[in-house]
Structure 1
Amino acid sequence: MADLDVVAWVRVVDGRLLTVRSRGRDLLYLPGGKREPGEDDWAALSREVREELGVELDRASLRELGVVRAPAHDQPDYTHARMACFTAACRGPIAASGEVDEYLYLAPSDRHLLAPASRSALDLALAHGLIG
């Protein structure tokens, strides 16, 4: 089985990581998602974040934080998720929209609420000094 190839926005405010709960999901994820055919990282990330949270990412501030690989959660066609993680500034107020029911800022102690790849992304943010 191939890995699920996704992109994620790592946004930290006041030492807490921005997460989203998609409709019908039990665990929290980072904003982002699957690429559509032909999309590069920027196109996929900016589209997904706009659809989920209604904000525009600032391309000039886009920075790759790293890539994590972890067991895929709630994805029966995939055993693992490969998630390219990026930071970027945004414009506009964040609001849950599309398939996202809510957004939450989580402290590192709330890691048990995250899907496996999002836990790995939290560890990446900690290693880069974005949290802590």
Structure 2
Amino acid sequence: MANGSGVPEKVAWILVRDDRVLVTRSHGRDRFYFPGGHREPGESDGETLVREIDEELQAAIDPGSMVHFGTFEIGEGHPDHGPFRMICYTADHRGELTPSREIAEKAWFRYADRDRVSAVDEMAFDALYEAGRLS
């Protein structure tokens, strides 16, 4: 769903463990993405993240622990079908990370795996690496 500017947006979850970040791949896709999704009408970022992570990974996000990590955007005419904006948050969770029907696989990527994610996700990978969070 787009914001007021008409740019499609995704609210994404950044979960880093042992210098690796969690990514998921949907059925029928080759590229991996950060878990998350588009807002439903009237949803806040927190509500979106809680709903999407429950739907995709059957885990419960603690909305009180959400911290904005960064907002990343690709422009019009980008090969990955820009424009597109991804708003990323870190957050604690409860429960195992169990992929749902819509998720073909989850993986833990290092910075060297950056070429296996979308262009906007690559930007977040770069920020995580520069912050010393990925090896």
TM-score, normalised to structure 1, is 0.89
Q: Relative to structure 1, is the Cα distance of residues 53 and 72 closer, same or farther in structure 2, using a 3 angstrom cutoff?
A: farther
Match of residue 49 from structure 2:
45
Aligned 1:15-54 pairs, distance under 5 A: 15-54=19-58
- Which protein, 1 or 2, shows the higher relative CO under an 8 Å CA cutoff with sep ≥ 6? 1
2:25 is matched by which residue type in structure 1?
R
Residue 98 in structure 1 maps to residue 107 in structure 2: no
Match of residue 83 from structure 1:
86
1:56 is matched by which residue type in structure 2?
A
Contact in 2 for aligned 1:4/1:72 (Cα 8 Å): no
Distance (whole Å) between structure 1 residues aligned to residue 8 and residue 50 of structure 2: 18
Shift of 1:98: 3.2
Match of residue 62 from structure 1:
66
Match of residue 118 from structure 2:
115
The percent identity for this pair of structures is: 36
List, as ranges, runs of 4+ consecutive aligned residues in structure 1 with deviation greater than 3 Å.
none
Distance (whole Å) between structure 1 residues aligned to residue 35 and residue 63 of structure 2: 16
- Size of the aligned set, in residue pairs, is 128
Shift of 1:72: 7.3
**Equivalent position to 1:130, from 119, 128, 133:** 133
TM-score, normalised to structure 2, is 0.88
Shift of 1:129: 3.0
DSSP 3-state at the match of 1:84: strand
1:4 is matched by which residue type in structure 2?
P
DSSP 3-state at the match of 1:120: helix
Which consecutive unaligned segments of at least 5 residues does structure 2 have? none
Over aligned residues, Cα RMSD in angstroms?
A: 1.7
Shift of 1:131: 2.2
Which consecutive unaligned segments of at least 5 residues does structure 1 have? none
